[in-house]
Chains A and B, each alone.
Chain A
């Protein structure tokens, strides 16, 4: 702040008795420039910076608009009933995303099961059961670091452990396990926040009536934290179904022209199909990739919409 010491009178010296009066002040409002000759410059800088920030935000939103427009313009012409109900094909006109769509739905269910059984359970343990100690400190550090591991590395784990080690092959169950493990840190971190927002008076009231820890958690803490936990699971799922790299690492980029029925079936998924089409040299397939992206984004945005709706409903409920 440049407007500090300079503007204050110096008290060490006695103020002059009768300051020589300059020319009589002109009529009108006193000019601010008299107190700080720098002020005009500082205000100009301030306005310029404000514009710069606005321009940056505008640029970011423009990038989003261009991204969505490019995809819509290229992808909409191909997007019809036939596209949704056909299997992939060498012929652009006959190709569709049926197998990929079903594969993505399967993966979503498997990932959700794993995220709830392991992720939410781990969050409950860490918030409600764990006593502070070295083991729990280690678990916390570990989860923070796992959240930063690139998704392609999870794909290597899936490849070595599930595909080859456990002999699942390039199957739905291997893909679901890999994606489930990938979103585990996200689910744990977000669910813990939801659990932490439950006031401890609720737990103490339950204990006072003789409830066991699990009774307090199951009947009071979990129902109260449910919207937050559901939001975290849905957001994690929407991350999982957009993931391509781990599935490609597992070798899931194969030609699948059937709807998978069992956990051990081979599969394809929407992002894999998009990658397949986008990486072909022929331009016609790029348009198909755009159509596939539209389907993928519709699935993702409706899931995010659901999560936002849940969050808003949770916020409207009783505040503690």
Chain B
């Protein structure tokens, strides 16, 4: 009898322990939801206050952004234009280079070459963005100004180049994953009917991995949209509605840094623009991520 009693009290202790642990772990998992809720709430509250003072029509269609000086203008398009310009330029570098690097890694490289190249790409991916910003100022901009003397000290092209280098490892490694998920027997089938490696790569592997490749592009571009420090250092602080990559521009993220560097008191319109621009940035990147997930599901080829 005594023995069963002690066993049952030990059981109760274990049950209590199990319950405590479950609550802790469950709370930790719920925390991620709380973070999302926190981000949305913070952005929504301040953006709401912003739109009580500035009409959404002016915000979304105005072509001039000057929230700090009179006469104030709150048209976000110049900032969006700067972000699009840098992202587009970055994709011109990152997408072809990244995809060909991935094809080389998965279809051509020997195991030995892979062992060397992969860690080097990981180093490139692990370099902090502020370092890329420094690199843009110290090397890319002088090189651009040497080739095209009309280039301004701060310019969109330099930012686009370093952001392109920055997201390239991401494109390469996501594409490489997608290519390597294509089963080997499909390649063997193509080789058996006499295809060359180029034909296997471009006409068999690439179409089979299309969903992963497209998702990689979208994810990398969303990373470029949210990229901050390199763009702040290299692209300048002049919001401008232009497609010329050689002049000083400002992206959405660079504007947010500029405002937070100055001592802007809470409650002013300038402080609220921070959250309005931040909310727009959040929605754009969230939309791109959702598109990437949808693409992955829609074009997925399922293999046995």
What is A's interface to B at a CB cutoff of 8 Å?
A: 1-4, 7, 36, 42-43, 45-46, 49-50, 52-54, 56-57, 59-61, 63-64, 66-67, 70-71, 74, 117-119, 121-122, 124-126, 129-130, 138-139, 142-146, 148-157, 159-161, 164, 181, 184-185, 188, 212-215, 238-239, 242-245, 248-251, 253, 271, 274-275, 278-279, 286, 289-290, 293, 296-297, 300-301, 304, 308
Contact = CB atoms under 8 A, between A and B. Distances in A.
B6 interface: no
Given A122-B31, A152-B253, A152-B281, A64 B130 contact: no
A145 B101 contact: no
A184 B128 contact: no
B138 A286 contact: yes
Nearest to B219: A148
Nearest to A119: B28
B243 interface: no
Contacts of B211: none
A275 B133 contact: yes
B101 A53 contact: yes
A156 B293 CA distance: 25
Please report whether the interface of chain B is mostly helix, strand, loop or mixed according to DSSP.
Answer: helix
8 contacts: A56-B100, A60-B168, A121-B24, A160-B42, A184-B35, A242-B130, A245-B253, A300-B126
Contact of A274 (B46, B134, B196): B134
B128 A248 contact: no
Contacts of A289: 134
Given A42-B199, A161-B38, A278 B100 contact: no
B278 interface: yes
Interface in B245-304: 253, 256-257, 260-261, 263, 266, 274-275, 278, 281-282, 285-286, 288-290, 293
Contacts of B71: none
Q: Could you say which interface size class chain B belongs to?
A: 35 or more
B128 to A, nearest CB: 3
A42 B139 CA distance: 40
Nearest to B228: A245
Interface stretch (B60-68, B72-80, B114-122): B114-122
B222 interface: yes
A11 to B, nearest CB: 17
Contacts of B46: 160
Contacts of A290: 134, 138
